[in-house]
Amino acid sequence: MNQFENHTSHRKSRLSIWSAAYVIARRDFQAILFSRAFLFFLLGPVFLIGVAALSSGVGGQIASDAADPEIGIAMNVPDTTAMLAAHGALAGQLGPSLPPMVAVDIGPQADAAQRILEERRGNYTAIVTGTPAAPVMTGTEGQLTRLSGRVALVAAAANGRAPSEFPEITRQTVATSGAAEKTSRVATAQVSQMLLFFLTMLLAGMVLSNLVEEKGNKIIEVLAAAIPMDAVFLGKLFAMLGVSMVGILVWGSVVGMFLLLTGGGLGALPPPAVGWPLFLILGVIYFAMGYLLLGSIFLAIGSMAATVREVQTLSMPVTMLQLLVFFFASYAMARPGSPLELAAVIFPLSSPFAMLARAAQIEDLWPHALALLWQAFAVAVFIKAGATLFRKRVMKSGPQGAVRKRRFWQRAAPARSPAR
């Protein structure tokens, strides 16, 4: 009777799942936030931005150094002059769509234009010979298809069969149009999806390293014996989510100060359909949901890994899967209301990305309430499944697991009667 009462009092003295999760979350949050590693974690995006800026500068310099391809005009002197004059008159109307034209001397040979292009002499995309009345254009099949109409227009102008003067167009400007608004909202949806994916993939990996470290130190087994494993998973997830929110707050403050000093702002992006204040709130909520969904999967992976090498091996398929999920949500974004977008909304891992893009394109708010309830249910299922898997693996290791395995497969030895 005393043993039963002790067992009952022990069960009553255990913390509830939410109280235990709060204890774990507070412990992990303080341990990570006040560590030196967190400072280096905050500096991580600085290096990424530096590398991106450097690569962008190098790419821009290469693009500026590369000369625009030219169309060579190899006719007699009067015809070449007429072609260049017609090109100059039309360039003001067609703009960059009309490639530059230059005079080129190829000699009297019949196949001179073909030889110059095959030998890659100069920066010619095509060479035009013959006369303005009967031009002959030499080039690759793709360039001939793309440029034949423009060269024909220049030749017609040089031959006097195209207007040399164009009427002035009176412009009437409107603030926006249906097509312009749709295109601008798609741009906002794309940027928000990319930012959400970048932050989720950058921050969700912290869950793995923390769990593997405590598993190697046997701390996780002590926690599993003291409190429900579901509470351990829940507390660790919310602790890492809190640390991630602190990091985002720091990075957002730095970016905000930079935009404030430089005079920039959100005006560079078109406004979303639900408005900026509500869109930013939804962005934070969908980031939290996406982080919890992916973090719960990473916790399950950590339960199956004993070393950091195993973590890297097991997490690679999940990372590739998340990349495919992002591409799936991005592809479905361009088709709002279609079955493809509905599938992206229903699938838990792509739901935060799809719903954030929907917030940028469609004004309706009630689908977000349903989506958030569905995502919260998926988080609970993932946490429960990961905790069950981890509990089974922990119970299968150590003396308790050996005892359970022996009792399952073997019949317990009969108790010996005390010697008289």
| pLDDT by 10s per residue, the chain, length 420 | 454 444 444 444 467 888 888 888 898 888 888 887 787 778 777 776 776 667 666 655 555 545 568 888 888 988 989 899 888 888 877 777 788 899 888 777 767 888 888 877 778 888 898 889 889 988 888 888 888 888 888 888 888 776 655 556 556 555 554 455 677 788 888 889 998 998 888 887 677 666 666 666 667 767 777 788 888 888 888 988 998 899 888 888 888 887 778 766 555 677 888 888 999 999 999 999 999 998 888 887 777 766 667 766 777 777 788 889 889 998 988 888 889 999 999 999 999 999 999 999 888 899 999 999 999 999 999 988 888 887 776 555 444 444 344 443 444 445 454 544
Q: What is the per-residue pLDDT for 406?
A: 43
Query: What distance in Å separates the CA atoms of residue 396 and residue 263, rounded to the nearest whole number?
Result: 60
Q: Is 137 helix (H, G, I), strand (E, B) or coil?
A: strand
Contact between residue 326 and residue 193 where contact means Cβ atoms under 8 Å apart: yes
Which position has the token pair 């530096």? 50
The amino acid that residue 126 corresponds to is A
Query: What distance in Å separates the CA atoms of residue 394 and residue 206, rounded to the nearest whole number?
Result: 21
Rg (CA), the chain: 34
Q: What is the per-residue pLDDT for 184?
A: 75
What are the tokens at 144?
């001939």
Distance of alpha carbon 282 from the chain centroid? 17
Contact between residue 100 and residue 122 where contact means Cβ atoms under 8 Å apart: no
Report the sign of the C-alpha dihedral through residues 358, 364, 365, 369, in that order.
Answer: negative
Q: Of 328, 337, 331, 379, which Cα lies nearest the Cα of 358?
A: 337
Q: What is the DSSP letter of 305?
A: -
Residue partners of 236: CB distance under 8 A and separation at least 6 = 24, 25, 28, 207, 210, 211, 299
Q: Is 122 left (phi over 0), alpha (psi -120 to 50) or beta?
A: left
Largest Cα–Cα distance in the chain? 131
The number of beta carbons lying within 10 Å of the beta carbon of residue 113 is: 23
The dihedral over CA atoms of 284, 286, 289, 291, expressed in degrees to the nearest 10, equals -70
Beta bridge partners of 44: none
Query: What distance in Å separates the CA atoms of residue 303 and residue 232, rounded to the nearest whole number?
Result: 12
Query: What distance in Å separates the CA atoms of residue 200 and residue 49, rounded to the nearest whole number?
Result: 17
Report the sign of the C-alpha dihedral through residues 222, 225, 227, 233, in that order.
Answer: positive
Q: Which strands form 135-139's sheet, in the order they lie side by side?
A: 101-103, 70-73, 124-130, 135-139
Query: What distance in Å separates the CA atoms of residue 200 and residue 192, rounded to the nearest whole number?
Result: 12
Q: What does residue 136 show for φ and ψ, rounded to 5 degrees?
A: -120, 120
What are the tokens at 88?
């100059």
Q: Is 95 helix (H, G, I), strand (E, B) or coil?
A: helix
Query: What distance in Å separates the CA atoms of residue 86 and residue 155, rounded to the nearest whole number?
Result: 8
Q: Is 235 exposed, middle or buried (0-12, 13-18, 19+ CB in 10 A)?
A: buried
